[in-house]
Amino acid sequence: MIRTRRRSTAALLLTGDLIATTIAFFLAWFVRFELEIPALTKGVPPFHHYLLVLPAVLVLWPLVFYFHGLYQGRRDRSRIDDALAILLAAVVATVLFSGVLAWLRPIAPDGTPFTFSRAFMGHFLIAQVAIVLTARVSLRTVLRHLRRKGHNVRRILIVGAGHLGKEITRKIQAHRELGFAVVGFLDDDPNKAKRRFLDVPVVGQLQDVEQVIQTQAIDHVYIALPPEAHGKVMRLMEVVSRSCVEVKLVPDVLQYATLNASLEDLDGLPVINLSQVPLKGWNSLMKRTMDVIIAGAALLALSPLFLLLAWLIKREDRGPVFFRQERMGLDGKSFMILKFRSMGVNAEATTGPVWAVRDDPRRTRIGSFLRRTSFDELPQLWNVLKGEMSIVGPRPERPTFVHEFKHKIPDYMLRHRVKAGITGWAQVHGWRGNTSIRKRIQYDLYYIQNWSLLLDFKIVWMTLRGGIWYNAY
């Protein structure tokens, strides 16, 4: 059933992409050769020459989209993920297509070779990405509306009615537009038998999983058991594998929190490194390159704003423009973070190190504006250029707080395996300022484990979309 639904969704997406690509092809021709953007220098080529390669385009583009996972039909895929994947796939397809045409020039019906306009390819790339994305967003909107109405809903069974099972249930219930419905829990605790949690009943014990899958027409099984139930998990997976359902394991992040594990060799003895991070070698170089380009361009573009803010800060109380504070970054090394001063001079002289709060009375008038817009964070672009920070990464804390948290929160120090950032995965999801440190750690560890340039660009986009940087209080 699940595979049938996926094939139907994939066929729908493919049909939409083919139609969108065809429209983009004709639109690119119209813009380039009818509107003449930019101005023509060699005249208008015969239209039928371009039509000769349209079938190849309609094969290559969907093929590249397929290998970028754009026909998997994941319901939980965000619009930003879709947009970035479509853009990347379209660029790859355009490069491949242009390379092939450079080596194998198509032959017109009259026997003469012809070349494609590079401006046409640029127009086609832009139009194809825009139209495909618009079509997919429209289709997604329609499907989500139908799922909210109860159509095409996938039924989910949660194994484990503990805190982890309840947490995944809350997440699913908060996003009904995805078309998921939790129909029951399985749990061996006799105190939970026949009870309801989050309006979802406990329908049996773990040994009943096969029967419940059949009687309740289950599509997905989420295993949300604690680490000490490892033996039960293995037996459960063996039983569930005999049914045609999707099985997903939900680990307890704070208990399983080791970074990407890798196998190493010590003189022939296999050793598992539990603290491997993806940000090494070429990955580290690419991220650093992105940091330098973005920070350099931003500092240059924002220099007039910097001068204006510096004048306003100085004008209010004649105190220093910048505020420097010790923070802990990569590998636990301290550095001085740079901010526009938003509080009075020596604001912590009587209180000592404390968390900033909303509407903090220590703020100056211009400081309230800086905090509300997060303009006070902009000087950290200089920390990025110096290599002390990154554009994206876990927010750096003061050594005083780090010393406190590392004794209270398991694996807290793992966040120091990468450079601290101006913005991060936790911040764009609302975990910033005086909020739950444990939640922030979960998101920071997810970022470290799943780092990619695409994820960095996604976080930057989410940050800008939510406002200029973010309000860190």
CA distance 105 to 180: 50
The stretch 346-370 carries a mean pLDDT of 68
**Nearest Cα to Cα of residue 437 among 445, 233, 108:** 445
Listed in sequence order, the residues at least 6 apart from 251 whose beta carbon sits closer than 8 Å to its beta carbon are none
Over the stretch 285-341, which tens digit does the pLDDT of each residue have? 889 999 999 999 999 999 999 999 999 999 888 889 999 999 998 888 899 999 999
R_g (Cα) of the chain, nearest Å:
27
Q: How far is CA 256 from CA 87, 250, 327, 380, 411, in A?
A: 34, 10, 27, 33, 9
CB 98 within 8 A of CB 61: no
DSSP state of 343: B
CB 85 within 8 A of CB 69: yes
CB 394 within 8 A of CB 415: yes
Task: Between 108 and 386, name the one with better pLDDT.
Answer: 386
- Please indicate, yes or no, whether the overall pTM of this predicted structure exceeds 0.85: no
CA distance 463 to 427: 8
CA distance 250 to 225: 8
CB 458 within 8 A of CB 370: no
Q: How far is CA 427 from CA 263, 264, 431, in A?
A: 32, 34, 5
CA distance 248 to 221: 6
| Burial grade of 14 (CB within 10 A; 0-12, 13-18, 19 or more) | middle
Residue 254's pLDDT is 46
Residue 290's pLDDT is 92
CA distance 178 to 154: 9
CA distance 257 to 275: 10
Other beta carbons less than 10 A from residue 447's beta carbon: 21
CA distance 284 to 289: 9
CB 186 within 8 A of CB 209: yes
DSSP letters along 282-306, please?
A: HHHHHHHHHHHHHHHHHHHHTHHHH
pLDDT band of 5, cuts 50, 70, 90? low
CA distance 295 to 390: 9
Residue 310's pLDDT is 92
pLDDT band of 420, cuts 50, 70, 90? very high
Task: Between 460 and 7, name the one with better pLDDT.
Answer: 460
Over the stretch 111-146, which tens digit does the pLDDT of each residue have? 666 677 888 999 999 999 999 999 998 888 888 888
**pLDDT above 50: residue 240:** yes
Listed in sequence order, the residues at least 6 apart from 216 whose beta carbon sits closer than 8 Å to its beta carbon are 155, 157, 183, 184, 203
